[in-house]
Structure 1
Amino acid sequence: MAKRLNGENSIGDVLKEFMNVNRLQPGMDKIDVREAWKNLMGNGVNNYTREIMLKGTTLYVELTSAVLREELSYGKEKIVKMINEELKREVVTTVVLR
């Protein structure tokens, strides 16, 4: 049965409760991580990005350039840190570049 809230809650609190009750946060995380990747990496990297997928806390990124994949592999920890800072919470723990 749904939990009743009193009339003094903000819209943000009601939406958070709705997302928790309906278990929507993992789906929202997938969308947020894709947007964060696009915003942080810019057009140069996005032109070579084929697919971005979040499974659990692992971010899988499929790239069309082997050279770019090799270069980005040196900064995986920095990518994780930048995405988590963009989302303001711990969503990604590892990055796998394909």
Structure 2
Amino acid sequence: MAKRLNENSSIGDVLKEIMQVNNLQQGMDKIDVRDAWKSLMGNGVNNYTREIMLKGTTLYVELTSAVLREELSYGKAKIVSMINTELGREVVKDVVLR
């Protein structure tokens, strides 16, 4: 049974407790990474992005343009760094472009 929070707990503390007890962080990471990709890459890349999926610590991105996939493959380390900086912690360790 979850511990009872005192009456003076903030909403943020209560939500963190709920996420921790119910193990919801992994699902939230999937949503956060998808949003970070869309905001960091801009409309040019997003127009050619078909699917964004986080499995474990690997980000899988399906692109419709082979040329764009090749160009982005040269900057995988920078993409990982940018996404982790945007999220404020290390969520992604590798990027696979398909």
> Which aligned runs of 4 or more in structure 1 are off by greater than 6 angstroms?
none
Partners of 1:10 and 1:77 lie apart in 2 by 38
Equivalences for residues 53-64 of structure 1 within 5 A: 53-64=53-64
Secondary structure of 2:4's partner?
coil
Aligned positions, number: 98
Match of 1:23 in 2: 23
- Structure 1: distance between partners of 2:16 and 2:61: 29
- Give the 5 Å matches for 1:1-98: 1-98=1-98
Structure-2-length-normalised TM-score: 0.97
How far residue 3 of structure 1 moved from its aligned partner, in angstroms, is 1.0
Identity rate, percent: 85
Task: Supply the AA of the counterpart residue of 1:80.
Answer: V
In structure 1, the gaps of 5 or more residues are: none
**Amino acid in structure 1 at the alignment position of 2:23:** R
Per the TM alignment, residue 8 of structure 1 is displaced from its structure 2 partner at its CA by 2.2
1:57-97: CA deviation from partner (whole Å, max 9, x where unpaired): 10000000000000000000000000011111111000000
Q: Distance in 2 between matches of 1:81 and 1:54?
A: 15
Secondary structure of 1:70's match? helix
Give the distance between the partners of 1:10 and 1:84, measured in 2 at CA: 27
Segments of structure 2 that go 5 or more residues without pairing to the other structure are: none
Q: CA deviation at 1:9?
A: 1.6
Q: TM-score, normalised by structure 1?
A: 0.97
